[in-house]
Amino acid sequence: MIRLPPTLRFATYPVSAFPALSGANQGHAIGIGAAAIPGDIYRLVRHARTAQLAIFDDPDRGQRVAPGSEVGNPGEAVAILECHNLMDRTGAIIDVLVLRHTSGAGDATLHLLPLSPLRPGTEYELIASARATAPEAFNDIIPVGFFSGTRLTLASGALVPVETLRVGDLVLTRAHGPRPIRWIGQKTHRATGDAAPICITAGTLNAARDLRLSPHDRLFIWQRHDELRTGRSEVLIKAELLVNGTTVLCDQGGYLECYEILFDRREIVFAEGIAVESLRGVSETPARGPMEPALGGHAADMPADPSIEIDERALNDPRDAVERLARASGGIRV
């Protein structure tokens, strides 16, 4: 039985919801290879509905369907096949990924993952397609670090912007005290669609300033009172589950600089005063620098224990998630 919770969750369309209006593949759904020819014009059908694809990373077998997914069954394979570049009538470029889900019986189904929102009724021209860069495009919507301007707590207690940190700097970690940074990476990530950062506004959960996190980044909460009824004091919760439209917002638009901070193992660090999990890679993420060697051999020490991650169903009404976490931690103001 699959016990790992979803590590990533995306809104996908069936490829049948995005047919070609004109061109070589007129009347057919967008696909890969010969089923997607530059110059063809596509349009999202008017009543298209998304389905949430939840996946987790199996170190040995790659991306797999996670429990709670609206697409597929737990444990079934998911592959990233191709990235299409589309252009609308205004000249704006929209990237979409074609994913393949393979059922336990071996049947394959294609799904469309837009990296920016597709608008019903809008016509899109296919400009180009690429298979080799599809995993990298997928990585663009999975920031695995801290956005520029985010301040981390050093061993000295000082709050320092992540972009000013250097290899060897001692950062305060929750489980292991001061730990030296082993590697720093930097990349520009899109901040639209499912990749748009979540902004925890200053004062919320005791944040020193506005804190922007990836939707998939996980906050560490220590419950003085079992407000969430998990039966444990330590919990991890994804930032996206805290969005309430007032104190925690989805911050859409543009691109942001993201800094990956690597320690000897994954750690819980303090970003703007909030305990947050550090680097979390996935198998589709291209290896950069010494990531794999540095993480190897420490799996048992990693704080990213899936058993302590909050199932969104435990929150009941997500609108009061922040208030419940504040009460659970005791004395943290909302």
Q: How confident is the model at residue 333 (pLDDT cuts 50, 70, 90)?
A: very low
* Dihedral over Cα of 184, 294, 81, 252: its sign: negative
Asked whether residue 11 carries a pLDDT value surpassing 80, the answer given is yes
Query: N- to C-terminal Cα distance for the chain?
Result: 38
Answer with the residue of higher pLDDT: 287 or 239.
239
- Tell how far CA 102 is from the center of its chain: 22
Over the stretch 255-313, which tens digit does the pLDDT of each residue have?
A: 888 898 889 888 999 999 999 988 654 444 444 444 444 444 443 334 445 557 766 66
Distance between CA atoms of 1 and 215, rounded to whole angstroms? 26
Asked whether residue 206 carries a pLDDT value surpassing 50, the answer given is yes
Over the stretch 134-165, which tens digit does the pLDDT of each residue have?
A: 887 787 677 668 999 999 999 999 999 999 99
High-pLDDT (> 90) share of the chain, %: 44
Across 218-244, average pLDDT: 81
Compute CA distances 123 → 86, 129, 175, whole Å: 9, 17, 52
Over the stretch 62-99, which tens digit does the pLDDT of each residue have?
A: 889 988 889 999 999 999 999 999 999 999 888 999 99
Answer with the residue of higher pLDDT: 129 or 301.
129
Over the stretch 105-123, which tens digit does the pLDDT of each residue have?
A: 899 999 999 988 888 889 9
* 8 A C-beta contact, residue 45 and residue 17: yes
* Side-chain half-sphere exposure of 211, counting CA atoms within 13 A: 29
Distance between CA atoms of 279 and 267, rounded to whole angstroms? 8
Across 230-247, average pLDDT: 84
Query: 98-137: string of b/e by CB count within 10 Å (b at 16+)?
Result: bbebeeeeeeeebbbbbbbebeeeeebbbeebeeeebbeb
What does pLDDT average to over the chain? 82
Quote the tokens at residue 156.
């000295």
Across 98-104, average pLDDT: 93
Q: How confident is the model at residue 315 (pLDDT cuts 50, 70, 90)?
A: low
Distance between CA atoms of 39 and 215, rounded to whole angstroms? 34
High-pLDDT (> 70) share of the chain, %: 83
Distance between CA atoms of 16 and 332, rounded to whole angstroms? 48
Query: What's the pLDDT score for residue 1?
Result: 32
